[in-house]
Amino acid sequence: MHAEAMKQEAMAAAVRWARWRMGPTGFRELITHADVEMLRYGRLITRYAVRTGSWAEEPFRGGTVPPGFPLELESLDLWSGTPEELAARTSHPVGCRRCSGDGLVTCPSCHGTLRAKCAGCGGTGKRMSRARKNYRMVNCQQCRGNGQKKCVRCSKGQVGCSPCQGSGRMRRWLKVATVHHAHVGIWPDDPWLSAHPGLKQGSPHAAQWQGARTVASWEHAGRIPPSQLGPEAEALGFFPARASLEPGLEPLRTRVLSQRLEVFEAPVATVHYAFAGKKGFLKLLGSGFRPTPVRDTRPFRHRFACLLGVFFVSLFGAVFLTGAFTERQLFYGRHPAAGLVALASLGFVPGFGLMTASWLRRRRPDGSMLAKRWQDRLGFGLAGPCALAVLACFLFVRPSVQELSRLTAAGQLEQAELHASALQGEGNTSAAFIDARNAFVRARILEMDNRDAVRFIEPYVRTKEGTEPLEAERRRLREAWVAKALSQNEEAEAEKELTALTDEGAPAALVDGLRARLEDQRIEQGKALLAKGEEEEAIRTLLRIRTPGLASEPPGLLLSQAYLLRAQACSVQELHCRAQALKLAAEAGPMEAARNALAAFRSEEINRLAKAVRASGGVSHTLRALQEGERDAGILLSVFEGDAELTGVREGLLRRREELLRKHWPLGEPVEVVQALLGPSGLEERRPGVFAVRQVPPGTLVHLFVSQGLTRGVHVTAREHGREALATEALQQVAQLLAGKTFAAKDLARAGKGVAHVPARLGGHVALLGWQDGMLVEALLGKVEP
């Protein structure tokens, strides 16, 4: 084929390749030049065999073994003979590894015990009986329920070794296996050849493609000698590359069977092009000019990235333009032009994509541009009308006062609302708009209920421009709603509307009149609840009165009556309830009965507490009376704060308590005395009859033992009992706290060995001190339960 014709064919192949790779339709005009040449290459096919050896064994049956056999497999040449000869030369006897040459092994059935698992029941001793169709488990008849019976396979627990068949010796020989391989080496290392995987195959026709021819071929049994090769192999550089083309062979294991050397020649072409402002190339093989992986496709990737970026930018721009038009007011979102804006905005995506693709196709690496074609005008022809449509919608689609008036007069209030809200949002304050808006709002609220009408008026009133008629309508609506809420006893709604009227600057006379009706209704409700005896509901209702001066009658008398009823409902034990109710009744209003009841209650309680100060009898009884009186005095003082008489009575109770406990100690006293001496939180019950004392020296545990209401004994020890000694200073502090006495110095010293409990005395109480090798570990005062 002529060189120029080959160039034209190569460019045509490049155009076909570009069409399938997002190339433009006019790729031929992007090609700058094409180079065609002849490529000479070759391949070396090496066929070789690999032998592997392994030791095989069989039972030794006697006979003679030739001397001098090799035992090292690594140093043995596996090609020094046939596999049969190597097997005969390496044959030799060895001891059996399983039986160690004895010929006998332990029986696998009984493991040398002479008792094997019964085959009839599987070793369980039970089997299913089917007699008379009565399926049940019975003892196995073969082993009589034992699950085992005498082993019949062995003799004295041993059987013959199966690998060596009882001889104890094995015959070992070398087993050789041969595997054939083929290795193909290609040179030179040219990137064109990577597109032709057939060269790696051993077939004699795999190296041919269209336009290729065989220059020379040599074949030899074994390695090809250099003297047999022709000048073509030397010119192609075979001799320097031969070592890398042949496989690495192990001398004692492999052998070359044959080699075949082939030299080929084929046309190749390189097509250079300029696209998207960048240069690229494509290499092709054979007279058919098949594309190879050796190519520079950066211009295509650059073009794809640019088009992808333009697509996303234009898509986001379309979304932004559509939102900018529709989200200004509801008027624009529901206008028919919104669909036109969305459609025209989406038209920017293909329009800008075509414009970018045209610009990239025409751009040259040197900055020049190719001539325009008719396809290059498609992008601008699509994007231009879309831009004009979007601009026209933004400029000419507007709400109008005239349309608002017309729609209101025609009764099309939903469409009129769109115009009104849009004009209100744009800040239109013209007289024509105010008149049209007020007329629209008055017409619109006629179709709504009270609440919806108030909420509808709110946005239009906020402008404070000509909104006096709207404010009057809103005030009228709220007034009507308050009246309706009062008629339905909905106080919360009425209160909410009154607050709104006050915040909106409604006339004080109007608000006070409505509130007076609300307060009178609450007073009537309170009277009705008092008549039914529901004083708690009456109190809650009367306390909701916010402006008593506007009510027809003062609510104080009713509150006093309600609090007196609460005081009567309180039980005798609920002292705080009665005191608080009487105090609130006296403070609620000028009611003489409430003040007299409070004074009588106070005098009665003071006299009762004074009697508790003078209480007599046993220590336990007197302490309980004093504690109850002190508690009641505290409750009354929390209500009548700063009362001098109550304070004096409480101080008298405290003094009497101190006098009563002055000569008492916790040990040997009633529990009430102990609790009074140690405080309400000084004891913690661990179990019935055993209390732990809280306020003790650090690292010490103290337990009180109580029986029949009296403390009988005390147990003192360290927290780490048995590992730490009980400190004598801590023991003396506990003794002084609980018995008012301390141990003598001689009782706290001991030098003996072993464990012992030494008796001692603590005033009138008997004590035992526990020692362990001279270390004090515990102390027992009085009677301590184990």
Q: What string of DSSP letters covers 666-694?
A: STTSBHHHHHHHH-TTSEEEEETTEEEES
Amino acid 68: pLDDT: 43
- Tell me the longest C-alpha to C-alpha distance in the chain: 145
The pLDDT of residue 73 is: 75
Give the pair of three-digit tokens for residue 316. 């986001």
Residue 695: both structure tokens together? 């306020």
Task: Give the SS3 label for residue 304.
Answer: helix
- pLDDT of 349 reads 93
Q: What is the dihedral of CA 454, 455, 460, 463, to 10 degrees?
A: 100
**Residue 432 is encoded by which pair of tokens?**
């024509």
Torsion of CA 729, 734, 740, 744, to 10 degrees: -40
pLDDT tens digit sequence for 365-384: 887 888 888 788 888 999 99
H or E segment and range at residue 13 = helix 3-19
Q: Can you spell out the DSSP letters for 408-469?
A: HHHT-HHHHHHHHHHHHHTT---HHHHHHHHHHHHHHHTTS-HHHHHHHHHHHHTT-SS-HH
Residues 339-343 have a mean pLDDT of 93
Confidence of residue 72 (pLDDT cuts 50, 70, 90): confident
Q: Which CATH architecture has domain 104-160?
A: Ribbon (2.10)
User: How far is Cα 598 from Cα 604, in angstroms, rounded to an integer?
Assistant: 10
Tally of CA atoms within 13 A in the half-sphere of 326 that contains its CB: 17
What DSSP state is assigned to residue 725?
P
Give residue-wise pLDDT tens across range 153-170: 887 778 888 888 878 888
Asked whether 598 and 583 are in contact (CB, 8 A), the reply is: yes
DSSP 488: T
Average pLDDT, the chain: 84
- DSSP calls for 529-570: HHHHT-HHHHHHHHHT-S-GGGSSS-SHHHHHHHHHHHHHHS
Q: Tokens for 401, please give them.
A: 């006062």
Which among 593, 574, 569 has a CA at the least distance from the CA of 636?
A: 574
Question: In this model, does residue 626 exceed pLDDT 90?
Answer: no
pLDDT band at 64 (very low <50, low <70, confident <90, very high): low
Answer for the pair 299, 279: CB distance below 8 angstroms, yes or no. yes
- pLDDT confidence bin for 612, thresholds 50/70/90: confident
Token pair, residue 215, equals 């220059």
CB 120 within 8 A of CB 183: no
What 3-state DSSP class applies to 117? strand
CA distance 386 to 409: 37
- As given in the structure block, the two tokens for residue 608 are 């009762």
What is d(CA 123, CA 287) in angstroms, rounded to the nearest whole number?
A: 83
Contact 683, 694 (CB under 8 A): yes
Span 649-669, average pLDDT: 81
Cα–Cα distance measured from residue 575 to residue 602, given in angstroms and rounded to the nearest whole number = 11
How far, in Å, CA of 774 to CA of 772, rounded?
Answer: 6
Mean local confidence (pLDDT), 514-533: 89
Helix (H, G, I), strand (E, B) or coil at 755: strand
State the Cα–Cα distance between residues 184 and 200, nearest whole angstrom. 6
Report the Cα 318 to chain-centroid distance in Å. Answer: 37
Name 719's Cβ contacts closer than 8 Å, sequence gap at least 6: 699, 700, 701
The pTM is what? 0.50
Cβ contact 714:784 at 8 Å: yes
Give the residue ranges of DSSP H helices in 287-425: 298-326, 330-334, 337-362, 378-396, 401-410, 413-425
**Rounded Cα gap, residues 164 and 170, in angstroms:** 6
Per-domain residue ranges of the chain? 104-160, 300-396, 399-490, 578-663, 665-782
Instruction: Estimate to the nearest angstrom the gap between the alpha carbon of 181 and the chain centroid.
Output: 57
Q: Residue 45: in which H helix or E strand, if any?
A: strand 31-59
pLDDT of residue 393: 92
Share of the chain residues as helix, strand and coil, in percent rounded to the nearest 5: 45, 20, 30
DSSP H helix total and E strand total for the chain: 23, 20
- Distance between CA atoms of residues 492 and 481, nearest Å: 12
Q: Give the tens place of pLDDT for each residue, 429-481.
A: 888 998 999 999 899 988 888 888 888 888 888 888 888 888 888 898 988 88
Residue 217: C-alpha distances to residues 4, 229, 467, 473 (Å): 31, 9, 107, 110
CA distance 324 to 322: 5
The answer to whether 143 touches 118, Cβ cutoff 8 Å, is yes
Q: If you count them, how many residues does the chain have? A: 786
| Bridge partners of residue 129, in order along the sequence | 136
Confidence of residue 786 (pLDDT cuts 50, 70, 90): low
Residue 207 pLDDT greater than 70, yes or no: no
Residue position matching structure tokens 């104080």: 556
Residues 6+ apart with CB under 8 A from 138: 126, 127, 128, 129
CA distance 516 to 494: 12
User: Could you tell me which residues are beta bridge partners of residue 255?
Assistant: 49
- The strand pair at 765-772 and 148-150 is best described as unpaired
Q: Which amino acid is at 409?
A: A
- Residues in Cβ contact with 74 at an 8 Å cutoff, skipping those fewer than 6 apart: none
Whether residue 706 is predicted with pLDDT greater than 70 in this model: the reply is yes
The token pair at 219 is 């074949």
- Integer CA distances (angstroms), 15 to 27, 37, 280, 285, 343, in order: 6, 20, 13, 15, 36
Let me know: does 778 contact 759? Beta carbons within 8 Å. no
Calculate the dihedral angle through the C-alpha atoms of 477, 483, 487, 493, rounding to the nearest 10 degrees: 70
- Residue corresponding to tokens 């690292």: 699
Closest listed residue to residue 282, CA positions, set 266, 305, 298, 267? 298
